[in-house]
């Protein structure tokens, strides 16, 4: 699997922006469900040219979706997805995400 196939997109929210601006640079990415920590570390190193200190991976469960017209009956769920929180080595940062 290529590096650009493993990392789907960065997760940009208020909480991830605070983690990114702290002393320890932590970046959050949406990744493929079949990828593991070692593949994610290698992909970040290859794509952004930074040294990765640590990588934490978790699966985010999908949320239920309701219909409005039929008394609030459940139509289904949004899909599950995998999230990776990558901690960079001291002094490193990813310039492509810093400007966003």
User: Where does the pLDDT of residue 3 fall: very low under 50, low under 70, confident under 90, or very high at 90 and above?
Assistant: very high
- Map out the domains of the chain with their CATH numbers: 3-90 (3.30.70.330)
Alpha carbon separation from 56 to 63, 85, 95, 97 (Å, rounded): 22, 5, 21, 19
pLDDT at 77: 87
Threshold 0.95, pTM exceeds:
no
pLDDT at 98: 77
CA dihedral 94, 21, 9, 14 (to 10 degrees): -160
pLDDT at 30: 97
Q: What is the average pLDDT value for the chain, to the nearest integer?
A: 90
Closest CA to 18 of 30, 27, 7, 8: 27
Residue with tokens 């997109």: 9
Give me the numbers of helices (H) and strands (E) for the chain, helices first please.
Answer: 4, 6
Distance linking the first and last C-alpha atoms of the chain: 27
Q: Is-contact 59 81, C-beta < 8 A? A: yes
Residues 47-54, mean pLDDT to the nearest whole number: 95
Q: 85-96: per-residue pLDDT in tens?
A: 999 999 898 988
Q: Does the pLDDT value for residue 100 go beyond 80? A: no
Q: 58-82: per-residue pLDDT in tens?
A: 999 999 887 676 566 667 889 999 9
């Amino acid at each position: 699997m290529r590096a650009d196939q493993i990392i789907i997109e960065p997760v940009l929210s208020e909480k991830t922006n605070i983690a990114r601006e702290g002393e320890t640079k932590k970046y959050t990415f949406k990744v493929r469900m079949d990828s593991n920590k070692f593949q994610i570390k290698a992909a970040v190193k290859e794509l952004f040219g930074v040294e990765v200190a640590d990588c934490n991976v978790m699966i985010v469960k999908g949320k239920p979706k309701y219909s409005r017209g039929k008394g609030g009956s459940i139509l289904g769920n949004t899909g599950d997805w995998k999230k990776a929180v990558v901690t960079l080595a001291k002094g490193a940062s990813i310039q492509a995400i810093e400007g966003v």
